Amino acid sequence: MSSVNMSGSSEEESELRRGPWTFEEDSLLTHYITSHGEGRWNVLAKSSGLKRTGKSCRLRWLNYLKPDIKRGNLTPQEQLAILELHSKWGNRWSKIAAELPGRTDNEIKNYWRTRVQKQARQLKIDCNSKRFLETLKHFWMPRLVEKMGQNSSQSQSSSSFSSTTTLNTQNSETPSLLTVPQQVQTPYQVTHDKSSSSICSSDSMKIQSENECYHVDTGNFNVEDFISADILMSDCQEEAIDWINCEDAATFWNVDELWDLKK
DNA sequence: AAAGGTAGCAACCGCTCTGCA
DNA sequence: ATGCAGAGCGGTTGCTACCTT
């Protein structure tokens, strides 16, 4: 049941606009909310003069116009957080978004569907399966962590990210892929327990905040072992190798630079 | 250069949840 | 306890820009 059907006559419905928002509509909505505040979306839709449903106004504001919305690519730490939180909560997008300041549930959902599920499809692995989780845990998460470390060493003097992302993992009810402290705030520091020429052969990595640290266990892991191990079904090994080696791999997580770590 | 295919993202839809009378 | 309206959530659709042939 839609608010349109419930409250509007067919005449009103036919006047309702749909599709992409115009600049004028955006500024009308922004100005209205600036002076009247959020909430009561149906009233807002009528009073503001917008020919939109309350639902549509709410969505436009929350996903696009709200001042604290962060735009642009997800950072490695945000991607890591999404993987981590999704492993705990599943498709609870708004809950996941609540842990990533400035990111919307819609954005995270789109990211999951377009990037993560795509890779799962290519590997012929169900993205909700344990197998795919293993893939994330043993291969991509360490890479993201490494990438975070690389970023941190590149940015300013000591190891801090420019991002102000806060991972709030309180009240986790299920075991997580990573051992994450109750609250981790950047700046982080990423270190390896055992240095190596390749990220994939380190035993473990630590992400350190000022007060705490968490650990990613890579299990003396390397790509070749991973591919040959039972983690992947035999019938998709070939594709997995392609996935690992092919240039397309760089598109995963939208981190071309991430791939350079392997070289 | 043009046509077709694909990926990414904004927006919509339908359902559930919540608060209130 | 019940019904209604608003708000919120997750899934899906459709548009557009980019890529490939």
pLDDT single digits (tens) A126-151: 776 777 777 777 777 777 777 666 66
Average pLDDT estimate for A1-21 = 53
Max Cα separation, chain A? 70
Kindly state the tokens that stand for A98. Answer: 């609540």
Q: Indicate the range of A10-24, A80-94, A220-234 predicted with least confidence.
A: A220-234
- State yes or no: pLDDT of A9 exceeds 60: no
Q: What is the Cα–Cα distance from A90 to A234, expressed in whole angstroms? A: 27
Give residue A85's region: left, alpha or beta (phi > 0; psi -120 to 50).
alpha
- State yes or no: pLDDT of A33 exceeds 60: yes
Protein residue ranges contacting nucleic strand B, Cβ under 7 Å: A 1-2, 17-21, 52, 55-56, 59-60, 63-64, 73, 106-107, 109-111, 114-115, 118, 251, 254
Kindly state the tokens that stand for A14. Answer: 């036919």
**The pLDDT value given to residue A68:** 81
Q: What is the pTM of this model?
A: 0.65
Instruction: Give strand C nucleotides closer than 7 A to any protein Cβ.
Output: 5-12, 15-16
Average pLDDT estimate for A71-77 = 79
- State yes or no: pLDDT of A94 exceeds 50: yes
User: What is the distance in angstroms measured between the alpha-carbon CA of A246 and the sugar C1' of B1?
Assistant: 30
pLDDT tens across A204-226, in order? 444 443 333 444 444 344 443 44
- State yes or no: pLDDT of A162 exceeds 70: no
Average pLDDT estimate for A229-251 = 40
**The pLDDT value given to residue A143:** 72
What count of residues does chain A have?
A: 263
Looking up tokens 């959020």, which residue turns up? A38
Looking up tokens 């760089």, which residue turns up? A250
- State yes or no: pLDDT of A4 exceeds 60: no
User: What is the distance in angstroms measured between the alpha-carbon CA of A2 and the sugar C1' of B14?
Assistant: 8
Using CB atoms within 10 Å of the CB of residue A43, give its burial: 0 to 12 exposed, 13 to 18 middle, 19+ buried: exposed
Nearest to A183, CA basis, from A193, A171, A200, A196 = A171
Average pLDDT estimate for A55-68 = 86
Decide: CB of A41 under 7 A of nucleic strand C. Answer: yes
**The pLDDT value given to residue A3:** 33
Decide: CB of A6 under 7 A of nucleic strand C. Answer: yes
Nucleotide nearest to A25 (CA to C1'): B11
Average per-residue pLDDT in chain A?
A: 61
Q: What single DSSP character describes residue A63?
A: I
CA dihedral (A245, A256, A99, A53) positive or negative = negative
Instruction: Give strand B nucleotides closer than 7 A to any protein Cβ.
Output: 7-16
- State yes or no: pLDDT of A31 exceeds 70: yes
Kindly state the tokens that stand for A248. Answer: 């397309």
* CA nearest to nucleotide C4 C1': residue: A6
- State yes or no: pLDDT of A34 exceeds 50: yes
Distances from the Cα of A22 to the Cα of A39, A47, A67, A92, A103, angstroms? 21, 18, 18, 30, 22
User: What is the distance in angstroms measured between the alpha-carbon CA of A178 and the sugar C1' of B1?
Assistant: 51
Q: What is the Cα–Cα distance from A232 to A247, expressed in whole angstroms? A: 20
Average pLDDT estimate for A14-42 = 83
Average pLDDT estimate for A2-28 = 62
- State yes or no: pLDDT of A113 exceeds 60: yes
